[in-house]
Amino acid sequence: MATRLMHKPRQEPKRKQKKGKHNSKKRTILSPKSKAAAKFSSLNEFLILKVSSPAARSERSSLPLLPELLYNLTPGTKNLAYLSGFSCGLDLSLKHNKGNTINTLLCALENAGFTNIMYYPSRRDLIISAKHLDCSTDLKKNIHTFEAGLIAGYLSESTGRRVNVVERQCAHNSRNSCQFLTERFGKMQIPESYEGVDSGVDAIAKSVSSAKPLSRISDSYYILEMLPLTKGTIPQDLSKLLFIIGAKAAGEKFKFANQNMGNLASLIAARQVKIERKGRGISSIKIIFTRTSSISAYTDLATALMAGIISKAIKKQASISRTMNSDGSYSVTFSL
């Protein structure tokens, strides 16, 4: 029997006022970033808290976004996606699962953009089914490996036994919904195939140049999913790949129109992509990131993608500079 997942809005506990004299000591006012740093030991911990709340949820795009596509390029990145999702699921349940319920997992999946989520507690195989917008990009494969790991980690910690989950049906594989099933540990395998590299590159290029508007998922969830790709030596290799993808996306007919720039901003979790024009030409392009996506290694990846687009569409070498805005977010400017 399926159970539709519901959650109640959180109520903040009332603070008890201390009796006695009023404390006249001045309080130190911290900036938002300082508060986060003081309260959380890592950015990962902060993002997990954010996605455990229903406040930040938003609608998933009908086109797959950058982390999903990058994770599905090779067997290695796909394995990284599952293990990273599993680790996040463990932390999500351990630190934010009050009352041993499924509600916190629901909030995380809603932040990922899934809707009409159904939970099947009495079935041995099917765990979760989630509706999805009609998808215009059919990749001929299931791409939500990170979410499969997230569900597996959450259920493993909350039930006290190892649970492994695999996506057996996907909205980006000729279906209109995604289904996540349990799998015995011995059968969990990441296919050793590199056939998806070309289709993955094509899908990213299509997302950049699509005429359809892209709806955002939660910025916190986006960066939580993207974070493992910004560590170690991975960004160096990805930067080269994203430059090539950007050049392929631009082609010869790419237009720096408002619609395309809005799609690009959604794809890379930026607040805005602004174009400054001089006469009939373009003098500069500026990416203004959100505070959540203002991570140095991540902005480098987004910069590589835009540099590839500029190199092909404008055929000019840009001077690139990065600055920090007054609210703590990054801006990257391409001066032409």
Percentage above 90 pLDDT, the chain: 22
Look at 6 and 182; give whichever has higher pLDDT: 182
Residue 126 has pLDDT above 90, yes or no: no
Give pLDDT, residue 331.
97
Alpha helices in the chain (DSSP H): 32-39, 43-51, 66-71, 75-96, 103-111, 145-159, 196-209, 219-226, 234-250, 258-267, 296-313
Distance CA 54, CA 196 (A): 34
What band does 332 get if pLDDT is binned at 50, 70 and 90?
Answer: very high
Residue 149 has pLDDT above 70, yes or no: yes
Average pLDDT over residues 8-29: 44
**What pLDDT, in 10s, does the model give residues 54-98?**
744 444 444 566 788 788 877 888 899 999 999 999 999 988 887
For each of the domains in the chain, give its residue range(s) and CATH number, in order of start.
38-199 (3.30.1380.20), 231-336 (no CATH)
Look at 46 and 15; give whichever has higher pLDDT: 46
Average pLDDT across the chain, whole number: 76
Look at 102 and 191; give whichever has higher pLDDT: 102
Average pLDDT over residues 142-158: 91
